[in-house]
Amino acid sequence: MSCGVIVMPDKRLLLHICCAPDATIPVEDLQAEGWQVAGFFYGSNIQPEEEYRLRLDALHILAGHTSLPVEEAPYAPEGWLDHMARLELLEEPEGGRRCTACFELQLRAAAESAVRLGCPYLCTSLTISPHKDVGRINAIGESIAKAHGLTWRPRIWRKRDGFLRSLRRSRELGLYRQNYCGCAPSQRGTAE
Ligand code: SF4
């Protein structure tokens, strides 16, 4: 897959997609602004696999509606769990250091995808959530983008009712919407 060839190369942007509902507004707004958008879905933080499949199916629906090319990382939840276990982060509360490590894994994989696909700009849908620390996410994104020779687009999608708009758009498109962030600890704990 490539980002396409029609728009000027400096408008090619890779959007890290945490889930389809959260990506609705970022994808449509970026496309309306003239960005040539490709999506990247990591997914190995999501458990169990049935839940991952539901979220992936929702992403395919969104991609079909928006003509969005999407790269999907191979589903490897053991790798994600091993990484968090090695760092002794599995018992961390949601929103703590495990989430920082999770954002890093996801955004690093997205940056590698952007380099492969020749997209000079990197962004994420994560900042549409009212539950997430957008300052931390944008700082991590900035640092990872820089290390990969990319430019980070520090958007805060939840501004201007972004989250409410994403709920509305998800309903219109009939997208599956989860009730927890993704990992097994988050399923046991706080609802997203
Ligand atoms: S709660 Fe969400 S962001 Fe935090 S570690 Fe789990 S999947 Fe990742």
Cα separations in angstroms, 32 against 29, 43, 95, 99, 142: 5, 26, 32, 31, 23
Q: What is the mean pLDDT of the chain?
A: 94
- Ligand 1, atom 3: closest residue by C-alpha: 99
pLDDT above 70 covers a percentage of the chain that reads: 94
If one compares 7 and 36, the residue with the highest pLDDT of the two is 36
**Can you give the pLDDT at residue 164?**
98
SS3 172: helix
Instruction: For residues 19-27, give the mean pLDDT.
Output: 98
Domains of the chain: which residue ranges? Answer: 10-188
Instruction: For residues 33-52, give the mean pLDDT.
Output: 98
Evaluate whether 45 touches 106 at the Cβ level (below 8 Å).
yes
Q: Is the dihedral of CA 91, 129, 46, 50 positive or negative?
A: positive
Element (H, E) at 98: helix 97-117
Q: Measured in angstroms, how far is the CA atom of residue 184 from the centroid of ligand 1?
A: 9
**Can you give the pLDDT at residue 152?**
98
Structure tokens at 11: 């408008």
Bridge partner list, 39 = 15, 70
List, chain by chain if needed, residues with CB within 6 Å of any ligand 1 atom: 45, 94, 98-99, 102, 181-183, 186
Q: pLDDT tens digits for 61-97?
A: 999 999 999 999 999 999 999 999 999 999 999 999 9
Structure tokens at 87: 């760092």
**Can you give the pLDDT at residue 9?**
54
Tell me how far apart the alpha carbons of residues 162 and 130 are, in angstroms, rounded to a whole number.
10
Q: pLDDT tens digits for 90-137?
A: 999 999 999 999 999 999 999 999 999 999 999 999 999 999 999 999
Instruction: For residues 27-37, give the mean pLDDT.
Output: 97
Q: Angle, nearest 10°, between helix axes 77-86 and 97-117?
A: 130
Which CATH architecture fits 10-188?
3-Layer(aba) Sandwich (3.40)
Element (H, E) at 151: strand 151-152
